[in-house]
Amino acid sequence: MPVQRGRKNSAVCKLRGKAKGPANQEDDAHVVKRAPSSPQGAPKKRSAFVDLTNAKNAELGAQAKNETAVKKSQKSKVAIKSDAKLKDCSEVLSFEIPPKQVEAKVTEPLTEVKAHPSEVVEEEEPQLGSSPCHGDQQGRVPEEFDIDKEQAGDCCMTPEYAKDIFDYLKDREEKFILTDYMSNQPDLNKDMRGILVDWMVEVQENFELNHETLYLAVKLTDHYLSTTVAMRESLQLIGSASMLIAAKFEERCPPCLDDFLYICDDAYKRHEFIAMERNVLQGLNFDINIPIPYRFLRRYARVARANMETLTLARYVCELSLLELELVPERASRLASACLFLALVTKGLGGWTAILEYHSGYTSRDLGPLVRRLRSMLEQPADDKLRAVNSKYSHKVFFEVAKIPLVDAKTLEEALTGQENAK
């Protein structure tokens, strides 16, 4: 459930390493928001806009018409003079080129470059369906694997482009592969990153943001930390700026800067926040359209025709994986596939089917090591400092999937080996 706005966030104190004192009553009484414009407080016109009045436009328009008329008259005079000069030159040269010869000179090179029909080679047009992930050579999806035909005619869902869009996102994963960057951060460690991500989950709940915003913000933070050495004092500022950038990219109505300053307990100034936002964007070369596992997870759950409870269980596993530094190098599509695989086995809905293999591009053998890693992550006792995800998915709104018993290791191995033997 969303965190109440009236109280300060406890995770702020964790990141800065100091005890939290009593809350200020004046800060709890109201929240700084961007005030709506009103007739009494309307913004004044800038000096640059003074010349752009209606009267000035009319005057400039009349002046422009006069100048245009003068230019046309000057052009006509120049044209007459130029014709006279050409006539004088022709009289001095006293010869003319026959029109037929001119046509022959123009058309002759064209006839010479024509090749013999036997030597003409027609170029083949590239086909979208040339790769196996696009279906057959004509780019058609097999009838038994076409999950978008049910939405044919719905322009909002773009069923004719759905598979091409996710194939494109999967291709873009090659550009955003990360490695373990924490060895290059002398002042940071994985525990600090875990606390930051846990706090970002609370921010996502507090502002009721989309889950895509949370996943993208974590990706932006990891990519920035992989290229820039940061101090622990600025770690929360980096996460907050990444969250603001992700909200601007994903949300219809993103929170304003004052909201993020408030949620950071006024630890940073406005100019520091804006400067960090600029640094994050420059660190990623302004390419922030990073593929995230949440998009693939929703797509693959629809392929498997999983119900909402099964999808929420997979989302719970996927969101817990954001806290693990060891899973940062994993591709978004592979992580989403492994989370769904584990959720399907936990709910007793079978394993990795042929249609899932077709749309994801992964076999059960490809997903086996990652699925086992995710199960061991769930088997470990939860850290008391990192309770945001567990508390979030223990609520009835999320079907209390965090309380579902962990699947038995033997059952999981049977599902994995059964799929491999079936191949």
Could you please report the per-residue DSSP string of 5-19? TTS--HHHHHHHT--
Token pair, residue 112, equals 């010479």
Taking the C-alpha atoms of residue 379 and residue 392, their distance in angstroms, rounded to an integer, is: 18
Superfamily of domain 293-422: Cyclin-like (1.10.472.10)
Query: How many whole angstroms separate alpha carbon 142 and alpha carbon 260?
Result: 48
The amino acid occupying position 113 is V
Amino acid 71: pLDDT: 56
Structure tokens belonging to residue 40: 């009494």
Q: How many other β-carbons are positioned within 10 Å of the β-carbon of residue 251?
A: 15
Identify the CATH number of the domain defined by range 177-283. 1.10.472.10
Residue type, 156: C
Fold: same for 177-283 and 293-422: yes
What pLDDT is recorded for position 111? Answer: 42
Look up residue 400 and give its two tokens: 């209390």
Sequential pLDDT tens for the chain (423 residues): 454 444 445 554 555 444 444 444 444 444 344 434 333 343 333 333 333 334 444 445 555 556 655 555 554 444 444 444 444 444 433 444 444 444 444 444 444 444 444 444 444 444 433 344 445 445 677 777 778 777 676 777 778 788 889 999 999 999 999 988 999 999 999 999 999 999 999 999 999 999 999 999 999 999 999 999 999 999 999 999 999 999 999 999 999 999 999 999 989 999 999 999 999 999 999 999 999 999 999 999 999 999 999 999 999 999 999 999 999 999 999 999 999 999 999 999 988 999 999 999 999 999 999 999 999 999 998 888 899 999 999 999 999 999 999 999 999 999 998 766 665
126: left (phi over 0), alpha (psi -120 to 50) or beta: beta
d(CA 347, CA 329): 28
- Residues 301, 310: Cα–Cα separation, whole Å: 8
Domain boundaries, the chain: 177-283, 293-422
Please count the CA atoms within 13 angstroms of the CA of 339 that sit on its side-chain side.
Answer: 30
- Sequence-separated (6 or more) residues with CB below 8 Å from residue 196: 15, 221, 235, 236, 239
The dihedral built from the CA positions of residue 149, 337, 164 and 250, taken in this order, carries a sign that is positive
Question: Does the pTM exceed 0.75?
Answer: no
Q: Which amino acid is at 398?
A: F
Pair 167, 333: CB distance under 8 Å? no
Residue 129: which of 145, 142, 118 has the closest Cα? Answer: 142
Count other C-beta atoms under 10 Å from residue 169's C-beta: 18
pLDDT for res 355: 94
Angle, CA 46 vertex, CA 45 and CA 51 arms, to 5°: 90
Query: Are the CB atoms for 259 and 249 separated by under 8 Å?
Result: no
